[in-house]
Amino acid sequence: MKKKPAEPQKATPASRLAGCYFRLFNTADGRKVLADLRKKFGEERPRFVRGGSTTLQDAALTDGECNVMREIRLAIEAGKNAPEESP
């Protein structure tokens, strides 16, 4: 029994937006901007520094910045498989 060919993935607003993230950050300039954002707001930055004087507000701000970078990373990854935009 032969398998039917896979139907093209239907574009949803979320998948179209993910495709935008992928296309935006998959250019030479986009990669430079993303590298700069990662240096400044990378996901792996510590929220508290051992022996430091980090306040809860500072830690919450850092956590929020890291979460934005996580969302960008996840959108770029999802956008790799997003359906192509129609002109």
Structural domain spans, the chain? 13-44+53-79
In the predicted structure, residue 85 carries a pLDDT above the cut 80: no
The residue-averaged pLDDT of 48-54 equals 87
- Displacement of CA 30 from its chain's centroid (Å): 12
In the predicted structure, residue 82 carries a pLDDT above the cut 70: yes
In the predicted structure, residue 86 carries a pLDDT above the cut 90: no
Q: Which amino acid makes up residue 38?
A: R
Q: What are the two backbone dihedrals, phi and then psi, of residue 75, each rounded to the nearest 5 degrees? A: -65, -40
Weakest-pLDDT range from 2-6, 44-48, 62-66, 68-72: 2-6
In the predicted structure, residue 87 carries a pLDDT above the cut 60: no
Calpha distance 32→26 (Å, rounded): 10
Calpha distance 85→57 (Å, rounded): 41
Predicted local distance difference test score (pLDDT) of residue 9: 61
Local confidence band at 49 (pLDDT 50, 70, 90 cut-offs): confident
